[in-house]
Amino acid sequence: MATQAVLFLLSSLCAQFLTGYGATLPEYPSQPLPLSGLLNNKAATSANGHGSAANFDGAGSAYDSQFLPTGSWEYDGLSFALPSSWDKNDDNVLANGQVLRLQKPTSVHELHFLYAGDGTGAPVLSVFTLNFADGSSHEVNLYAKNWWVWANVNRAAIVTPYHFEKTGKNLNATNIFQWSTSVPSESPVESITFPPKATSNRMHVFGLSITPSTTNTSGGPALAIRRARFTTRWEDIEGVRAQAVEVTLANLLPAFAISRNTSITTRHTVELVGSGIQTVTPGVINRLVPADQVRIDVFVTGSTANGNATIQIRDSSGNVVATSGEFPTSPLVDNYTPDADSLSMHETPSWWNAAKYGIFIHWGVYSTPAWAPPTSYAEWYDWDIRQPPNSSNPTWEHHLETYGKNVIYNDFIPDFTASKFNASAWVDLFDRAGAKYFVLVSKHHDGFALFDTGNTTNRNSVQFGPKRDLVAELFQTAKAEKPEMHRGTYYSMPEWFNPDFAKYGFGQWPGGLAHNAFNVSPALEPYTGRIDIDDYIDDLQLPQMIDLAVKYDTEIMWCDIGGPNKTLDFAATFYNHAMAQGRQVTMNDRCGFLPDFDTPEYATFGSIQTAKWESSEGMDPFSYGLNTATNADQYKNGTTIVQTLVDIVSKNGNFLLDIGPTAEGEIIAPMMNNLLDAGTWLDFAGDCVYDTEYWFPSSQDFNPPAGTEPPRFTTTPSTFCIVAFAQPVDGKVTINKRLPVLAEDEIVFLRPQGPTAPLTWNVDEKSGKLVIDVPESDVTAVDFAWPFQVRYKLA
């Protein structure tokens, strides 16, 4: 990691801006809110920890101030006011329910946070409350990332290489994060209430900034370019590798001003203009109403490292109606080098962003015992049996009763037979389930690989158990029979009991041979399949990962645990190998370095994150591997799968739903049936899921009637979807929120036999409330969730 603060966003261009509709635009506005009256914590020091007044986390730890920017600071085109020096006074607000009054009540389009949580684990919900002039209030759900994460990495606005602890340096990368949210703009914001005091995972705010709404509603739409990024994504357009430039356009008018006059309502195109730059495929915007933002790709060639470009917007007659100022360009990467500067540019490919839904498969030696007590992972059997090795431990007890004390974990290998594994049947099921990709566990923490691990180890399914290369069978079959389905691999970076990992061991991955849990001789269990190597990372981890990339052509490297790694070398090989074949691939945030996407586990972000993320969960309520102790009626059913997927997609995430096949390679009937149930729904409602974008105002600021789940919203360039999570009653659906729906738009209901004819609907002009009439017979023909598709009428 560079020793300077690193900006993880690609050339996040100075936000530029169109003045009203029909001219050159001033910048996307952002105004820092003064926090001086509230500062109550000192986060940073230059004093090497000791003797400093800094105490960020309550345990005496602190950032090293030399890595933190000072004063007026721009990030992603937004302005923040940071301390002019980190070494003197309090420098951040430790949340304890404070109220920040705005100097004057202001109608706000977007609110921007610069923050860090002071825990060390997964993101934690932190709720801010906005108080409006009309007496109403609104909760903002910030899923707060913690300043560092043990053994792993975060994507962050400010990255420092370490932090001080009382006794010295902790060398885990340590961060400050930026997150922005839409704000209801019906009434001006008067004040912001910080989250209450917490005892752990406390919220620290380093900066707040607002983008005010434009109050003059008598002109046309108030357009501004929120963000324009030259990405590393590309598309082959007539033999040319065209670079995606992601442009996000805002309409800064307040929500109550929604009308055709204040919106983009016809087909507009977005192009880039600059020396050498050619727009190959313009972006298309058909609809942009007040208080909304829309994100599109413009495909270009010829961008360079030192050039400038402007954005031009044309109306449906081809006239240029708005032009931005200049901003710097950044070329498409055509060769990654094994360093953080090059590799940190990489991002998730367009196909992955559009795919939304994948199937995760936890299958291995642990599928033989296939057991865990409630709320434990069955794939952790080999570890859990020893935690502790006595009768207080249900896994130990279960093992003793079921197999006796002479059976060790390695004895399960021969019973992991894959005898009924039919790769065609699996990929056919995933396809009918509506999944667009799958991620197969290629090796879990037990070190038993499902692929040919060459001369790194014989601990694999080719040498033992099935005597088959299971990864190759599934990949080759998928490639031949479902070429549109993308193929990924989970890979555990550490191994629990590999003797060669002992020198790198940490936490629950100590390395070193396992101690027999029943005091049976030999006291140390053998590591079946091990061959002599010098170094775990150089001779096993890195070559295995490279083989998955180069020999198996994996498209998703879904690492787990992180820790010691040679991910710089791996990632450069992975990305360049794929690019040479015209493919784009991706890597998650658990490879120890350089994440493309975040991966909350059995959790989701409850609010939009504009950087892509993916939630994974088992169909089992608490296990990825098959757990025969779980009753199948506890599995996620059609309703849970569909609603979880739509919820995640509405917040810019993907859903990776896990199944656990048996040791024989069968996907048990209840898992299969639940997958197929969700697939049936996706078959007719997929237009509201695949290849959609989040809706900027989202459902976060939607207050549904008490006790009911709010609907979720998704968008495409020509449609807007409302997916109701409660079955409509009395033939009506009511949405108490202003939507981008204008007179003459058509609204249809998506159902198994195809969309209905256009339904009657009505928007109350004063409140913005939308009521759609839907026939009862259509409602009852649909299970799980009720999708309504608004088709924009292009005026």
Contacts with ligand NAG by CB under 6 A lie at: 20, 150-153, 170-172, 216, 218-219, 259, 261, 306-308, 326, 388, 390-392, 422, 424-425, 428, 455, 533, 539, 562-565, 567, 592-593, 637, 639-640
With 0-12 / 13-18 / 19 or more C-beta atoms within 10 angstroms meaning exposed / middle / buried, residue 174 is buried
CB of 590 to ligand NAG, least distance (A): 9
CB of 795 to ligand NAG, least distance (A): 11
For residue 418, CA distances in Å to 368, 428, 473, 667 come to: 10, 18, 12, 11
Our CA dihedral for 203, 129, 615, 596, rounded to 10 degrees, sits at -60
Give the DSSP per-residue string, 616-632.
Answer: EEESSSS-SS--TTS-G
Distance CA 522, CA 51 (A): 51
What is the longest distance spanned by two Cα atoms in the chain?
Answer: 85
Distance CA 381, CA 379 (A): 6
The residue (of 551 and 583) whose beta carbon lies closer to ligand NAG is: 551
CB of 199 to ligand NAG, least distance (A): 20
- Residue 525 has phi, psi (to 5 degrees) of -80, 145
CB of 582 to ligand NAG, least distance (A): 27
C-beta separation of 314 from 271 below 8 A: yes
What does the DSSP 8-state code read for residue 495? -
Tokens of 729: 């009653």
CB of 344 to ligand NAG, least distance (A): 13
CB of 383 to ligand NAG, least distance (A): 15
The residue (of 153 and 556) whose beta carbon lies closer to ligand NAG is: 153
The residue (of 140 and 671) whose beta carbon lies closer to ligand NAG is: 671
Distance CA 375, CA 359 (A): 21
CB of 468 to ligand NAG, least distance (A): 14
The residue (of 37 and 374) whose beta carbon lies closer to ligand NAG is: 374
CB of 127 to ligand NAG, least distance (A): 25
CB of 148 to ligand NAG, least distance (A): 7
Distance CA 495, CA 362 (A): 16
C-beta separation of 284 from 269 below 8 A: yes
The residue (of 608 and 671) whose beta carbon lies closer to ligand NAG is: 671
The residue (of 456 and 698) whose beta carbon lies closer to ligand NAG is: 456
The residue (of 224 and 608) whose beta carbon lies closer to ligand NAG is: 224
The residue (of 530 and 612) whose beta carbon lies closer to ligand NAG is: 530
H or E element that contains 710: none
C-beta separation of 463 from 531 below 8 A: no
The residue (of 98 and 154) whose beta carbon lies closer to ligand NAG is: 154
H or E element that contains 57: none
Listed in sequence order, the residues at least 6 apart from 22 whose beta carbon sits closer than 8 Å to its beta carbon are 220, 321, 322
C-beta separation of 15 from 166 below 8 A: no
Q: How many Å separate Cα 337 from the centre of its chain?
A: 25
CB of 307 to ligand NAG, least distance (A): 5
The residue (of 235 and 539) whose beta carbon lies closer to ligand NAG is: 539
Give the DSSP per-residue string, 448-460.
Answer: -BSS--TTT-S-B
CB of 89 to ligand NAG, least distance (A): 28
| Nearest one of 49, 51, 84 to 64, comparing CA atoms | 49
The residue (of 151 and 176) whose beta carbon lies closer to ligand NAG is: 151
